[in-house]
């Protein structure tokens, strides 16, 4: 998915704040209508909890016998006892203005957006001439969100941004019961949090389904607490799969089921009553639902939840390589049958180097799972336990090799990055639409590279040449060509000549920029 503007990508949470003294002005959560869940269904839900059975078993049986539901009522009635409203309380500093200043709302709340968009004086980003803010006074703020129970002993899943920074967390169940909750663990990378409540009675719960089985066009049901209006249901279909927004582990289901602020952390059900997604964000120009919502896939969430329950934190596997997708041009330059796999661009000190991986290797399988691109490899490595030894199949110089790699832990390796470099203006020899010169210790120092660094520095790029088409820029350092080291212009020219003699239409080069390596296939077409 193309990158989305932060202005339009909105987490599905809602805020409310008391205006004036006390809490009389705060938005109230609407109590559920008692007839929404019959006494029989409520008793069945409690009996299921006591038997440690998830809700939705009847819905699963009914789903097998129909394609299009005549109604979602039975499904909503069965699973609602496991859906919860979440209210968090925290102390925030709110601006107060002089005489005539308008009402103040937390930045990011629906009301602050509304008054700013309509030009209410005194709002941040509002019209000029607004009265200045005189001081900031502490005030208690309530944030509203949703969640769902996953076990009879009170574990609850929601979004991390729903409870982040909260001083107090209160869970409201469909029955009207309210219980305080404690945070078990959070994972900002997937925006998932696990909470825990203590109850004398077993709590009705639901189970995760297999999000990989969800198909575009499948019916789904979203339950939650939109805009603080209490328990609410909306239906739609799976609009798209495998959406990526901004994170390394993103795997979102897109849906047109109405999701608004306050739905954050709520479940997205399939017709079998299984949770296949956690409602997280919406794409919207105005803050409201326009039918483009995103739910983190349950196959990602369930593994995160399991680790948070067991350790209170995530423990993702770490391979320790820098990688990039294999392009058709790169595949042709390497003589590969298809542009698949993940090409290793750099192997710093870590598990991959210890296991024998090298720059230029193409990873095609990881632990018996085919690797088609870098995104799939990142997810698969993250799912593997830290400390586990896995088989990695690579293509090296046209031959397959199986390597044994003992994975490290990603959380311990976070923050490692190369230092930025600065470009130079020297010119030496022109090749393939760029000017290159040999890297000297003095040039390496200017580029903040190690004194023993070897390669060719790109000093100029023809804006209409093949190098510019591939994004090569002045200051880039060429360290390999055709997977062989280059330390002089003669080396590079020799690799180019060899590729042409072999009938190749491009030559593969390893480029380093700002400490980050990447492979580029440069066209050898004659001018």
Which active-site residues does the annotation give? 161, 191, 264
The DSSP secondary-structure symbol of 318 reads E
- In whole angstroms, what is the distance from residue 523 CA to residue 399 CA? 24
Binding residues: 161, 191, 262-264
- In whole angstroms, what is the distance from residue 397 CA to residue 297 CA? 37
Rounded (10°) CA dihedral 44, 48, 49, 51? 140
Please answer whether residues 340 and 364 qualify as being in contact, where contact means their C-beta atoms are separated by less than 8 angstroms: yes
Give the H/E segment covering residue 142: strand 133-149
**CA count, 13 A, side-chain hemisphere, 241:** 12
The burial of 13, by beta-carbon neighbours within 10 Å (0-12 exposed, 13-18 middle, 19 or more buried), is given as buried
Cα–Cα nearest to 299, from 153, 147, 190, 160: 190
Residue with tokens 């559920």: 32
Please answer whether residues 189 and 248 qualify as being in contact, where contact means their C-beta atoms are separated by less than 8 angstroms: yes
- In whole angstroms, what is the distance from residue 80 CA to residue 66 CA? 21
Q: At CA 485, angle to CA 483 and CA 491, rounded to 5? A: 105
Between the alpha carbon of residue 494 and those of residues 46, 317, 431, the distances in Å are: 76, 41, 12
- In whole angstroms, what is the distance from residue 516 CA to residue 170 CA? 46
Phi, psi values for residue 101, rounded to 5°: -70, 145
Helices (H) and strands (E) in the chain — how many of each?
13, 30
Binding residues for substrate: 161, 191, 262-264
Which residues, listed in sequence order, are joined to residue 389 by a DSSP beta bridge? 406
* 159 token code pair: 């979004």
């Amino acid at each position: 998915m193309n990158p989305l503007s932060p202005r339009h990508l909105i987490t599905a949470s809602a805020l409310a704040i008391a205006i004036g003294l006390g809490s009389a002005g705060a938005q109230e959560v609407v109590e559920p209508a008692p007839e929404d869940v019959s006494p029989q269904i409520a008793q069945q839900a409690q009996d299921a909890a006591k038997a440690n059975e998830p809700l939705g078993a009847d819905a699963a049986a009914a789903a097998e016998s129909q394609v299009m539901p005549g109604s979602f009522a039975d499904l909503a009635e069965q699973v609602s006892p496991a859906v919860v409203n979440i209210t968090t309380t925290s102390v925030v500093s709110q601006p107060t203005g002089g005489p005539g200043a308008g009402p103040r709302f937390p930045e990011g709340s629906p009301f602050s957006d509304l008054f700013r968009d309509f030009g209410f004086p005194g709002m941040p980003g509002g019209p000029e001439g607004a009265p200045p803010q005189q001081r900031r006074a502490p005030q208690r703020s309530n944030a509203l969100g949703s969640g769902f129970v996953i076990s009879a002993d009170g574990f609850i899943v929601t979004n991390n941004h729903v409870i982040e920074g909260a001083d107090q967390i209160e869970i409201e169940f469909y029955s009207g019961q309210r219980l305080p909750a404690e945070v078990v663990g959070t994972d900002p990378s997937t925006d998932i949090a696990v909470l825990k409540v203590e109850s004398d009675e077993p709590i009705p719960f639901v189970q995760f389904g297999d999000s990989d089985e969800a198909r575009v066009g499948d019916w789904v049901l979203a339950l939650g607490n939109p805009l603080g209006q209490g328990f609410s249901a909306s239906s739609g279909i799976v609009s798209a799969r495998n959406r990526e927004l901004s994170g390394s582990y993103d795997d979102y289901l897109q849906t047109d089921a109405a999701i608004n602020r306050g739905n954050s952390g709520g479940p997205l059900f399939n017709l079998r009553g299984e949770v296949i997604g956690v409602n997280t964000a919406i794409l919207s120009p105005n803050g409201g639902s326009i039918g483009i919502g995103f739910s983190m896939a349950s196959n990602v969430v369930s593994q995160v939840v399991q680790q948070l329950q067991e350790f209170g934190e995530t423990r993702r596997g770490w391979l320790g390589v820098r990688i990039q997708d294999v392009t058709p041009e790169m595949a042709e330059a390497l003589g590969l049958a298809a542009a698949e796999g993940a090409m290793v661009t750099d192997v710093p000190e870590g598990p991959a180097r210890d296991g024998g991986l090298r720059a230029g290797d193409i990873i095609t399988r990881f632990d018996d799972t085919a690797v088609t691109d870098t995104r799939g490899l990142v997810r698969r490595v993250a799912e593997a336990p830290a400390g586990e030894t896995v088989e990695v199949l690579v293509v090296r110089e046209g031959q397959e090799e199986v390597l044994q790699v003992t994975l490290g832990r990603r959380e311990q390796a976070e923050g490692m990055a190369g230092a930025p470099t600065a470009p130079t203006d020297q010119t030496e020899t022109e090749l393939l639409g760029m000017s290159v010169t040999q890297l000297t210790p003095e040039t390496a120092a200017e580029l903040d590279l190690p004194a023993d660094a070897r390669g060719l520095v790109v000093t100029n790029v023809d804006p209409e040449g093949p190098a510019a088409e591939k994004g090569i820029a002045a200051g880039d350092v060429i360290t390999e060509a055709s997977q062989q080291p280059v330390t002089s212009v003669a080396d590079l020219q020799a690799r180019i000549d060899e590729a042409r003699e072999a009938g190749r239409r491009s030559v593969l080069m390893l480029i380093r920029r700002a400490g980050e390596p990447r492979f580029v296939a440069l066209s050898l077409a004659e001018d």
